[in-house]
Structure 1
């Protein structure tokens, strides 16, 4: 199953309630990150746990809360926090053991606790107990989607054949509709009711906006039924719309060779897939703690579920828990089709944690292991770009772009265009950026980057102004794009409008040296020299690079009358 999820920046969701603590083992803190708290007291342990949980260090948080629950005489809120931290760190069994369920427990935590207990019972082969608990404690918002989707799989585990094939539904809930129907198709297949299963699969692959999610599921069903030609036809139709889809390509090759079909998912695997789908929804809504909790539950049922490990790594990276993310990406084996993706994410994790040599080493090894792997090439090129090794980045991309000359990808052309521009090879960069824009003429990043490049060079200013205005219209909250627009007006001599736009940009990007420098220049040209000097001094306080620092110091000394309009470096502005 393929999930194409764009994860937005995470925001930690507080799960507040009171609970009782049961069977919490005494475990000491595992680091000194929170030594400012008095760890000899229950309250100090609790505060340290809160800080760790807020920072995304769930394993450390569980340790602190565990000690606090033993030292303290008020286990309620500590027990709730311990449950949350254990669940988020992946210790589902321990979380289920202390899952809060008392009358004084807040509903949000009580519902998640009930879901956790159901999953743990299902994971340990206690299907009848799981069904009894699910029926006895109906799980409402925000976990009713998961409860509804788990219902048929829990019924199947309990031996309830009738309950297993009832499609769950919630009013106006497409997630439950689509994945409930997928579950019904698979459970019909398990019951050898193949015609009914195929009816469901066909319906899913006919959905106007979600059909692509279920092509591989239907194809695998056809392969299991030895209908290889039908499977190939299905894959061919899907590849017409997305010819670069590696999953579809592998499936087609397998079906064409009549190789062993993917096995039918087990009950636990089917239930886990539903939890991953719910997690992806929470992640898209920026409910990161719920998303992570669901992924941990899914992995309790299916520890080898690769898309779950990839999403766990992404969420932990967003919380700056790079150590946890490295562990998550490490679960993807070298034999997996997802290995190149995992290695790319692993390399970027090391990059974000400050270990740039290790990041590049992993990316290079990944590309050497699979020289023709497109994703591995792009990952290495992008890391080289991030490390300002522009010419090396270009060399990695050259053969890839040549190989895809008949079906160019604007994103790869854009990536090479950035590297060429930064390497000082503007003519070549302009060619790539223009080619990319022809393929995708409405892409704000492309419009802004090429437009700003022309503006910064005092070239094609009317056309560049139109391009960055179009980018701003598409992304009005982008301070960098507003800066490009203001800089265009500056270059055209419209200093009043330049000041207006650049002031807006500075409000959105107060820590950007270029934006503040541009605003200072516009103030100077508008006759507001004192404000201009303030902005240039501000540039010096914002950790400017050597060129930005030298320009600001020169302006503070002589003003723009001596040095002329600033010519700031072109950067990726999006």
Structure 2
């Protein structure tokens, strides 16, 4: 899917002034009280407004909507409250309420008006008022940045309005690939709905023969073929796609269904078809880091298709990005057991619990997800990674072993890398080294692999000249990585080029000022070039950076004895070269 540049034009959360009013004892107080009263008085309309602004800025849309509503009840609406309430309601998924209050006055910002029109269109489609939706799109089409959504919704609104001719017109915006591709997908589905199967298949063939879009629309075309009782053709289509993506769970599941001649997915309803276009737009916004627009569009899509699992997963992902872990858990929880996205959603719930600090709950959920879907690759990988993050090294390896064995015919370097990290931490370096070499064989230019193996060799004083070349390549690929620059500096240190080591390690500390290892390495290099006071400063700094026991012990020993007893740090011939 082509990423289209979009600009955030309507969801400002800048603090604007509002009129304060006397508190109403009948309204429950919301927001901060007590310690935070010095920041804002939550018993006034203005206080509620400021609390709502803070909640909206923090991604807590539901809380923001309640606060804005309280502000409006407590005092006269200064105008901006309606705009903020509308925005918060859309972001929290209260689309019916948002459509009812969508601002449209002469002083309303144009951007808010446009989102309001789109919201009313979606609500009209959701309640079966296709003619109203079509009339709105024709009489008051929402402008930038909603042209894509308006174009993709138009045929579905026409179909809902009974306009058969309008329903099969492929939407177009000049140079807009998103509208071109998803408009053609919508046309294929509406042709199928009109029983014009040959024309539907022509559209599907065009979408799946284009390398840009084949992976996006193969499942749609395959489902169409299955609905036409052409299971053999569907299997051939899935097999072709699997040659490029042999581990794709969706393709594997679809192929198994077609081989068994099981019930194919039903053709989408009008509401479901309209929702898909909005999800495509949301994905574009998310790709451009316009997360508020992406979330608003996903909420609109879910108003049309509340059972759209992929949309709930994307909502959870966006909320997670905003550090709203509890909101993300709620969103992921909408995906029901047995659904294709269930294992993935449960794995994401596990990570959200981990972010909240409940590691036991996180591991409980991840283990349950992996057990419920033993053949789901994503669930197994998520469990292995979570176990690694919680220092359960051996269990992480045990989860990955059968997965790597199962995929021996099409190995994935990422799995070998993940297992290597766990093996190394479990004290099984020879096995970790084997996996890293295998991963590099599969992906020889991956900076993370070059740095991991290179640094470990350097730290172990093995293969240092070879490792230097590896970390140089890693730094060249990612010059702003403090960790990789530290590896390069440490390689020069091991080779006795302390001047070059200081130069690189000083740069690494600038990029990673809070890393105990990087600061410790710089201290060692300073000592070797005679800058002993600065060396001691760096070692003292290590003790302030939450070092682990090994880092703490080493720093304390250096502060007491320096590096005099350690002897030279150079290496001329490596035992394993």
TM-score in same-fold range (> 0.5): yes
Partner residue of 2:416? 413
Is 2:348 aligned against 1:350? no
5 Å-filtered alignment, 1:372-411, equals 372-411=375-414
Are 2:290 and 1:287 aligned?
yes
Does residue 257 of structure 1 match 2:260? yes
Of residues 300, 304, 308 in structure 2, which corresponds to 1:305? 308
1:372 is displaced (CA, Å) by 3.7
1:205 is paired with a residue whose SS is: helix
Cα contact 2:51–2:67 (8 A) shared by 1: yes
Distance 2:568 2:122 in 1: 64
**CA distance 1:566–1:98, change in 2 (3 Å):** farther
Aligned equivalent of 1:507: 510
Matching residue within 327, 331, 342 for 1:328:
331
Q: Partner of 1:185 in structure 2?
A: 188
Q: In the alignment, which of 3, 14, 33 is matched to residue 12 of structure 2?
A: 14
Q: Distance in 2 between matches of 1:255 and 1:40?
A: 62
1:148 maps to: 151
What CA RMSD, in Å, does the superposition of the two structures yield over aligned residues? 2.5
Find the counterpart in structure 1 of residue 552 from structure 2.
Answer: 549
- Looking at structure 2, the residues matched to 284 and 114 of structure 1 have their Cα atoms a distance apart, in angstroms, of 24
Question: Partners of 1:523 and 1:4 in 2: how far apart?
Answer: 50
Measured in 2, the distance between the counterparts of 1:365 and 1:378 equals 13
- Kindly report which structure 2 residues correspond to 1:97-246, keeping only aligned pairs within 5 A, or say none: 97-246=100-249
Pair 33,355 (structure 1): closer, same or farther in 2 beyond 3 Å: farther
What is the CA-CA distance between 1:16 and the residue it aligns to? Answer: 6.7
Q: Deviations over 1:356-386 (max 9, x none)?
A: 0011111112222233433332222111111
**Corresponding residue to 1:64 among 62, 67, 79:** 67
Cα deviation, 1:330-356, whole Å, max 9, x if unaligned, reads: 111111122111111111111111110
Separation (CA, whole Å) in 1 of partners of 2:103 and 2:297: 17
Distance 1:566 1:159 in 2: 81
Alpha-carbon distance in structure 2 between the residues aligned to 1:396 and 1:367: 9
For 2:575, the equivalent position in structure 1 comes to none
Matched position secondary structure for 2:210: coil
Pick from 306, 314, 319 the counterpart of residue 317 of structure 2.
Answer: 314
Could you give the per-residue CA deviations for residues 448-491 of structure 1, whole angstroms, max 9, x where no partner exists? 11111111111111111111111122222222112212221222
Distance 1:28 1:482, change over 3 A: farther
Aligned to 2:369: 366
Q: Do the aligned partners of 1:39 and 1:45 also contact (CA within 8 Å) in 2?
A: yes
CA distance in 2, matches of 1:566, 1:423: 27
Distance 1:372 1:185, change over 3 A: closer
Aligned to 1:570: none
Contact 2:17/2:46, CA 8 A, preserved across alignment: no
* Larger deviation, residues 242-251 vs 279-288: 242-251
Contact 2:526 2:535 (C-alpha < 8 Å) held by counterparts:
yes
Give distance in 1, aligned partners of 2:551 and 2:346: 35
Q: TM-score, normalised by structure 2?
A: 0.91
Number of equivalenced pairs:
556
Give SS of 1:192's match.
coil
Partner of 1:556: helix, strand, or coil? helix
Unmatched tracts of structure 2, length 5 or more: 20-25, 571-577
With structure 1 as the length reference, what TM-score do the two structures score? 0.92
1:521 to partner: Cα distance: 2.0
Aligned equivalent of 1:75: 78
Task: Determine if contact 1:13/1:288 at 8 Å carries over to the other structure.
Answer: no
CA contact (8 A) 2:496 2:569 kept: no
How far apart, CA to CA, are the structure 2 residues paired with 1:65 and 1:540? Answer: 46
Q: Any gaps of 5 or more consecutive residues in structure 1? A: 568-574
